Amino acid sequence: MTLPVIWVRIERDIQRHQGVVHVNKLLLIGAAAAGYVLGTKAGRERYEQIKSQSSKLWNSEPVQQGVHEAEGVAKHAASAAGSKVADAASTAGSKVAAKVRSDDSPDPHEPPPPPPPPSSTGTGTGSTSNIN
């Protein structure tokens, strides 16, 4: 085969595939539009049905009793937690204030600090650590 013949075949294949792609796109768009038009009425009816049932359930007496009980339990738990936090904050504040007022006095539970190391600068009083 010569180059012009190959080129003609390639162009023909490209044109054929482009036509197939356009047809497939049109079919996809048409199917989506038909599905939307046919499905919206049924979809809306089902949505309204679900919405109505969920509203009835939420407003029923047993569910509302459970909601009120849960609110009471949550309020009680929040109150208890709040008082515990307030107590802990008060205790921590007292400890900090006592530590600040202690004027750097040592804590009786802490071991004493280590003694300072001996001076090695030599003051001429018989120290032999500075021998040259």
Q: Which amino acid is at 67?
A: V
Could you tell me the pTM of the whole model? 0.36
| Dihedral angle, C-alpha 84, 87, 92, 94, nearest 10 ° | 180
DSSP state of 106: P
User: Cα angle vertex 25, ends 34, 22, to 5°?
Assistant: 135
Query: CB neighbours of 112 closer than 8 A, spacing ≥ 6?
Result: 106
Q: Which residue would you say has higher pLDDT here, 95 or 17?
A: 95
- Pull the structure tokens for residue 49: 């049905």
pLDDT-based confidence at 98, cuts 50/70/90? Answer: confident
The CA distance from 23 to 21, in Å, is: 5
Q: Each residue of 35-82: pLDDT tens digit? A: 776 777 777 787 788 889 989 998 999 989 988 998 998 888 888 888
